[in-house]
Chains A and B, each alone.
Chain A
Amino acid sequence: MIQIFFYLTFALYGCATAAYLVYLLRTTPQVGTWANRLVTVGFATHLLSMIHRFSSSGYLPITNLHESLSFFALTIVGSFILFERKYKVTILGAFIVPVALLMVISSSVFPSAIRELNPALKSNWIWIHTIMAFISYAMFTIASGAAVIYLIQQHFLKKKRLGALFQKLPSLNTLDDINYRCLTIGFPLLTIAIITGAIWAEKAWGTYWSWDPKETWSLITWFIFAALLHSRLTTGWRGKRASLLTIAGFLVMLFTFIGVSLWLPGLHAYK
């Protein structure tokens, strides 16, 4: 019973992904509208499954990889829905929703049983620390989706291959706007997540910073996005370089999130 919303979400994201890919390749605008509807309903069932899990376990469902990946997918889809509304970039779904689907698929690989909570996680800091971290991750995911499209569009423009796909993808300007907006939301949130994490660490383990792998890699992620934001603001960096750096930042972030948990043991590893 606890899993029914989860499987529903799974199916809806799957259908939405298929619809976005069809929309990307074929010229039927209705498909895009349907994809948006599917993903919105999927988000709702996903949220319900999270609430359900929360009410039956009593803690925020981000204590193991199963829960975290699922929660990551939720924030990605939620952010995408907001950006789609604001910038009218349905096509972005073809690049973002498959990522969320992959997260949900991989989350189902890990054990989903509700267990006794690690005492270190029994704190109110978990709320602010993890939610900030996840929203900033979602922002960077959207930003790198836009960055990938930017590179594709730029390639088409430079090679003068202006076919149907070029016509359908958003303008360089819109993509750059999205990139910048994500950065200006995501970076402060990541900063807050790191600071609150340090405070929480001091309370739980007695030290602000212990160079645990997760902390180190978070700091690297932070530096990449700090550099990007800095050069955007000072010299007006944008376009290709900004896109490449965004994608690099996203990959490092992904490693921080998944790789570190799986391969580099430390305080943050999901047990």
Chain B
Amino acid sequence: MNIIVVGLSHKTATVEIREKVAFSPNQMQKPLAELVGLDGIIEGVIVSTCNRVEIYATTRDIAGGIARIKRFLADYHRIPLESLDQHLYTHHSENAIRHVFRVASSLDSMVVGEPQILGQIKTSYGYAAEYKSSGIILNRFLHKAFSVAKRVRTETKIASSAVSVAFAAVELAKKILGDLSDKTVMLIGAGEMCELAAKHFLNSGARGVMVTNRTFERAEKLAEEFGGEAVRFEELFTHLHRADIVLSSTGAPHCIIGPKDAEEVVRRRRFKPMFFIDIAVPRDIDPKVDDVENAYLFTVDHLQEIVQANLAQRSLEAEKAEEIINQEIGQFHKWLSTLEVTPTIVALRTRFDEIRRGELEKTVSGWKDLPPDAEKRLEALTMAMMNKLLHAPTAVLKKAGQGGRVDLYVDALRQLFELESLQHDDRELELEE
């Protein structure tokens, strides 16, 4: 049995393509049913996020399975396969296992170490489990992937540092102000990065937002969006002391907050520390503000530096993570290959026994003056022959099952003796776990 992966991601396809191939999360029953209905596909899971669409499946026929899944992806989304094919990557066997472990551990993510992907795969697996498109192998496989991801998370520091400017700002704020739940953010001006940072602050528990803008309507609109309070630009300094975090990105040609202002504001705050983030170019906040006691000024460049350092740290940690994954692949692959030893032996015996019985029947039924105990003797003879013939291959297979790399034998036996109709008993295998 083989695990195969067919998919595309931010590395191989643009967002336009990814959108076309995405599966909508609340309608997973139909595609999952179609997937496992494909010829030769036994189990299937569909992972669909904004950065990747991937299908994990088990099959005996690697090439055929991959081809059919590609065709399924194209047909389901009504895209010509010729245009889709160039964006698709495929993996099978050990590489498929490695790929899924890496994806779950967030090593293949756009931002390495970002934590969302694991949750997304869990959700996708949830659908597959709900609609019973995944079976014993993929169940075990994905649970293994989750545990590998957890191990990577706890044993490396891959996800411990902020790698976006907005997150770096939040982390830094916590280092200065401690718990953010009683802290207020003041947003001066507007701008994508500013708003993003404000959102991050609110998500991290900040109590509230004040928004000011030269156009008051704009401030009101933004304030409404954040559930905050709009402040007139002229009244900035009557409200500034209430803010613990100041995010500034106006298009003003001169600085709007100078060291004197900052000193005054900090004094009004009874010297509680204040965190200024200047996102504007040219700058909104005079660099001398940083010299004011209990005022801490950071610009985007400073935050960018932190992010760069964290990214460098992450790539070091990613190497450790690959190491962990390599260990885990070996273990899982071994389990996967031993999975088929017993059913193969059973199938082989059944096959031999069928032939033996058939031939015995033929011989005995056409034999007129058969001595009374001859049938018994013939039975014993053929049984002994069959057992002797099967003894060596059975022993080799069992032994190989303990050492890994058993799939070669299993595949060879399957093809040599045409054991295709074989089905393993799920319950029995689950007991083995």
Find chain B residues with CB under 8 A from A171 CB.
174-178
B273 contacts A239, C-beta separation under 8 Å: yes
- Cα–Cα, bound, A74→B154 (Å): 36
A204 is an interface residue with CB less than 8 A from chain B = no
A238 contacts B272, C-beta separation under 8 Å: yes
B178 contacts A172, C-beta separation under 8 Å: yes
Interface string of A143-182 (1 = CB under 8 A from B): 0000000000100011010110011000111100100000
Measured CB to CB, the nearest residue on chain A to B179 is A173
- Cα–Cα, bound, A163→B309 (Å): 9
Please tell me the number of chain B residues within 8 Å of chain A, measured between CB atoms: 23
B157 is an interface residue with CB less than 8 A from chain A = yes
B193 is an interface residue with CB less than 8 A from chain A = no
A236 contacts B271, C-beta separation under 8 Å: yes
- Cα–Cα, bound, A236→B270 (Å): 5
B305 CB → nearest A CB, Å = 7
B178 contacts A158, C-beta separation under 8 Å: no
B108 is an interface residue with CB less than 8 A from chain A = no
Which of A163, A166, A174, A237 touches B178 (beta carbons < 8 Å)?
A174
A238 contacts B176, C-beta separation under 8 Å: no
A162 contacts B172, C-beta separation under 8 Å: yes
B290 is an interface residue with CB less than 8 A from chain A = yes
Find chain B residues with CB under 8 A from A52 CB.
none
A235 contacts B176, C-beta separation under 8 Å: no
A-side interface mostly: helix
B298 is an interface residue with CB less than 8 A from chain A = yes
Find chain A residues with CB under 8 A from B272 CB.
236, 238
A160 contacts B294, C-beta separation under 8 Å: no
A237 contacts B271, C-beta separation under 8 Å: yes
A203 is an interface residue with CB less than 8 A from chain B = no
A27 is an interface residue with CB less than 8 A from chain B = yes
A172 contacts B175, C-beta separation under 8 Å: yes
Find chain B residues with CB under 8 A from A163 CB.
309
B71 is an interface residue with CB less than 8 A from chain A = no
A173 contacts B273, C-beta separation under 8 Å: yes
A160 contacts B298, C-beta separation under 8 Å: yes
B176 contacts A173, C-beta separation under 8 Å: yes
Find chain B residues with CB under 8 A from A27 CB.
157
A241 is an interface residue with CB less than 8 A from chain B = yes
B164 CB → nearest A CB, Å = 16
Quick one: which of A126-154 are within 8 Å of B by CB?
Answer: 153
- Cα–Cα, bound, A166→B298 (Å): 15
Find chain B residues with CB under 8 A from A240 CB.
293-294
For B157, B272, B302, the residue with the greatest tally of chain A CB atoms inside 10 Å of its CB is: B272
Measured CB to CB, the nearest residue on chain B to A231 is B271
B270 contacts A157, C-beta separation under 8 Å: no
B270 contacts A172, C-beta separation under 8 Å: no
Known contacts A173-B273, A239-B273, A239-B293; A162/B306 CB under 8 A: yes
Find chain A residues with CB under 8 A from B352 CB.
none
B294 contacts A238, C-beta separation under 8 Å: yes
Find chain A residues with CB under 8 A from B177 CB.
171-173
B294 contacts A239, C-beta separation under 8 Å: yes
B178 contacts A160, C-beta separation under 8 Å: no
Measured CB to CB, the nearest residue on chain A to B290 is A158
B296 is an interface residue with CB less than 8 A from chain A = yes
Find chain B residues with CB under 8 A from A239 CB.
271, 273, 293-294
- Cα–Cα, bound, A171→B179 (Å): 9
B270 contacts A241, C-beta separation under 8 Å: no
- Cα–Cα, bound, A172→B179 (Å): 11
Find chain B residues with CB under 8 A from A158 CB.
290, 296
Which of B273, B298, B302, B305 touches A172 (beta carbons < 8 Å)?
B273
Quick one: which of A45-71 are within 8 Å of B by CB?
Answer: none
B294 contacts A157, C-beta separation under 8 Å: no
- Cα–Cα, bound, A153→B178 (Å): 13
Which of B178, B298, B309 touches A173 (beta carbons < 8 Å)?
B178
Measured CB to CB, the nearest residue on chain A to B296 is A157
Interface string of B269-280 (1 = CB under 8 A from A): 111110000000
- Cα–Cα, bound, A241→B306 (Å): 28
- Cα–Cα, bound, A14→B272 (Å): 38
- Cα–Cα, bound, A154→B429 (Å): 61
A172 contacts B306, C-beta separation under 8 Å: no
Interface string of A169-204 (1 = CB under 8 A from B): 001111001000000000000000000000000000
Find chain B residues with CB under 8 A from A160 CB.
298, 302, 305
B315 CB → nearest A CB, Å = 16
- Cα–Cα, bound, A235→B269 (Å): 10
Which of A162, A166, A235 touches B271 (beta carbons < 8 Å)?
A235
Find chain B residues with CB under 8 A from A173 CB.
176-179, 273
A36 CB → nearest B CB, Å = 20
Find chain B residues with CB under 8 A from A167 CB.
161, 175
- Cα–Cα, bound, A47→B298 (Å): 48
B175 contacts A166, C-beta separation under 8 Å: yes
Find chain A residues with CB under 8 A from B273 CB.
172-173, 239
- Cα–Cα, bound, A160→B175 (Å): 13
Measured CB to CB, the nearest residue on chain B to A174 is B178
Write 14 A-B pairs (CB below 8 A) sorted by A numbering.
A160-B302, A160-B305, A162-B309, A167-B161, A171-B176, A173-B178, A236-B269, A236-B270, A236-B271, A238-B272, A238-B294, A239-B271, A239-B293, A239-B294
- B residues contacting A by CB (< 8 A) are 157, 161, 172, 174-179, 269-273, 290, 293-294, 296, 298, 302, 305-306, 309
4 nearest CB pairs, A to B: A236-B270, A173-B178, A171-B178, A236-B271
- A residues contacting B by CB (< 8 A) are 27, 153, 157-158, 160, 162-163, 166-167, 171-174, 177, 235-241
19 additional contacts (CB under 8 A) given A157-B176, A173-B177, A239-B271: A27-B157, A157-B296, A160-B302, A167-B175, A171-B174, A171-B177, A172-B176, A172-B178, A172-B273, A173-B179, A177-B178, A235-B271, A236-B269, A236-B270, A236-B271, A238-B272, A239-B293, A240-B293, A240-B294
